[in-house]
Amino acid sequence: MTTKILKSLFIFTVFGYFMGCSSADKNSTTPEGLFKIAQEYDEAERYEIALQKYADVKNKFPYSSFATASELAVADVHYKRESYAEAQIAYQNFRDLHPKHPKIDMVVFKTGMSFYQQLPETVDRDLTLANDAIYSFNDVIKNYPKSEYFIEAKEKRDKCFVMLAEKELYIGDFYLLHENYEASLNRYEIMLAKYPALGLDPKALLGAARAAAKADNDSKKQKYVELLTSKYENSNEAKLLKSKGL
């Protein structure tokens, strides 16, 4: 057995000994003592045991304030171990049961983050959960303007909007490439209507102008060309249009 392995076994044994001692020192027959035991496992990242201990607090002392604290701790544990679907449900349940809790702004924000963390990395996949995340972030922005999570809620909400806008552009480009011009034009117009001012308008306007031109819709072609060249005359898309046309 190598020195490295022996050293690791020694550290693990010592840790287990002190963990056992410290836990034994707590009185598991009281809600506070059992909650502290759960916290020790939580802080040591022994999440499965921590979840069980928090559940024990809730089950053995359902009318204690530590039962409520344990419910929130369970949601936090799921979030920390990246079980975001479980965290989302746990936070939502907590809010339903304790709508006036002093940390409710954090609960709403973490609900949004639980949805956000489940989003795919690329826009060609399902982005349905982005709308759920936006709903929670908007809740923080609207109802808890003094929350410490207010700024981050706005930042994450805007990132969700960008992803949804890019999704519309992706679909518009796909339809344009496959010569489904009316569907392509519709997608670009949806993006312009629902997700304006995110820095993607020039791309949508150029795409809409091209799709309209291919669909022989001269009025819309002219409309989007004029918008692109007047409102975003210095954009790469406007320069591309002037140099190569539609």
Question: At the top level of CATH, which class does the domain 83-162 belong to?
Answer: mainly alpha
Read off the pLDDT of residues 180-206 as tens digits, 9 standing for 90 and up.
999 999 999 999 999 999 999 999 999
Reported as a single tens digit per residue, the pLDDT across 54-110 is 999 999 999 999 999 999 999 999 999 999 999 999 999 999 999 999 999 999 999
The whole-angstrom separation of Cα 63 and Cα 58 is 8
Hunting for tokens 């999704």 — which residue is that?
167
Taking 50 as the threshold, does the pLDDT of residue 5 lie above it?
Answer: no
In which band, very low, low, confident or very high, does the pLDDT at 28 lie, cut at 50, 70 and 90?
A: confident
Cβ-contact 141, 150 below 8 angstroms: yes
Residue 26 has pLDDT above 70, yes or no: no
Gap between the Cα atoms of 166 and 157, Å rounded: 14
Quote the tokens at residue 22. 């410290």
pLDDT(174) > 90? yes
Q: Please, is 74 exposed, middle or buried when counting C-beta atoms within 10 Å of its C-beta (0-12, 13-18, 19+)?
A: buried
pLDDT of residue 22: 47
CB 168 within 8 A of CB 188: yes
Q: Which CATH number fits domain 14-81: 1.25.40, 2.60.120, 3.90.550, 3.30.460?
A: 1.25.40
Question: Where exactly does CATH 1.25.40.10 map onto the chain?
Answer: 83-162
| pLDDT band per the 50, 70, 90 thresholds, residue 27 | confident
How do residues 201-223 score in pLDDT, each as one tens digit?
Answer: 999 999 999 999 999 999 999 99
CA distances from 99 to 108, 113, 127, 195, 207 (A): 10, 18, 28, 31, 46
CB 130 within 8 A of CB 162: no
